[in-house]
Amino acid sequence: MSPIRINLYSDTQTLPTPAMRKAMAEAPVGDEQRGEDPTVNRLCEVVAELTGKEAAVFLPSGTMCNEIAICVHCRPGDEIITDRTAHILNLEGGAPAALSGASIWPLEGSHGVFTAEQVQQGIRPESRHTPRSRLVCVEQTANLGGGTVWPLETIQSVAEVARTHQLALHMDGARLFNAVIAAGIEAKKYTAPFDSVWFDLSKGLGCPVGGVLAGSAAFIEEAWWWKQRLGGAMRQAGILAAAGLYALEHHIERLAEDHRNARRFAEYIAEIPGISVALETVETNIVFFDVTATGLSAVEISDKLKSYGVLIGATDKARLRAVTHLDISQTDIETAAKALREIC
């Protein structure tokens, strides 16, 4: 088996750059749990400013960001309205039910994006027999939707319905800055309607670990209780926070390169007989493609690609997902597409 040279499995596969490692090594640190780590404190200040919120908290993972937010917003028996493809429903181990006792009402959106009308229809009537609708969750970009960017107008209309019914709003902004770069809309405008929002440092921004959750000062104070309860309180975490500060200064604008590479890859493989890719859905750095017509399963193709030193994950029997990031060059994209052509 050839060593993996081109890793398109996810943008979580990024490695810290030498300059990022230098920033980490030189970071001033202290006791993060006691509020004494200057680098963590600075990261939280920067994130609060970027998202237009009062405060923020640094957490080990994006999943923890989502689940702490849900625990703050919801009580056992409450219901969360989100898309059927949402990360909190499909990829967090059933944590909303296990940790907060909340259930999820999935909407049938388009590529991960639902409408205000669908939210309106999904809100439960006041009745002792039904769950209480409590929270609306938007995922920006929509991962399983294909990296879809939520239009600002759709977010605002969804928020208006939620507010009318006194529902809280949470943004799973794992790839928020991919949306910012793709749409040319600043983060604050996307996050303005939300009570809580987080974004991932360890995806396209290229950090080795972490996410940052933001909201009101009262929300973050409550989030800290859950951070402690879930075992996420840290100590000299400035070493990690320094990577985040470096990424926010140096790695946001370069996301456009990932988007261009994803588009190139989609266009290359769309010409391969047996491969189907909806080019109009490739908006950011994620490319889903169907291989049913090749006569091979997605898993078989994924396995064969490894012998070429290429890693692309199968999401089911028919589809694979390729995700571009800062460790993937245009040459890598061309090489991966060539390997797919030879296999198919």
Query: pLDDT at position 8, please?
Result: 98
Q: Any residues with CB less than 8 A from the CB of 261 and at least 6 apart, and which?
A: 285, 324, 328, 329, 330, 332, 333
pLDDT grade, residue 2 (50/70/90)?
Answer: confident
Q: Is 18-250 in CATH node 3.40.640.10?
A: yes
Whole-number percent of the chain with pLDDT over 70: 100
**pLDDT per residue over 21-64, tens digit each?**
999 999 999 999 999 999 999 999 999 999 999 999 999 999 99
pLDDT grade, residue 1 (50/70/90)?
Answer: low
Question: What homologous superfamily does CATH list for 254-343?
Answer: Aspartate Aminotransferase, domain 1 (3.90.1150.10)
Distance CA 280, CA 297 (A): 24
Q: Which residue has tokens 């910012």?
A: 180
Distance CA 266, CA 260 (A): 10
Whether 222 and 63 have beta carbons less than 8 Å apart is answered as: no
Domains 18-250 and 254-343 share a fold: no
Whether 33 and 224 have beta carbons less than 8 Å apart is answered as: no
Domain boundaries, the chain: 18-250, 254-343
CB atoms within 10 A of CB 145: 23
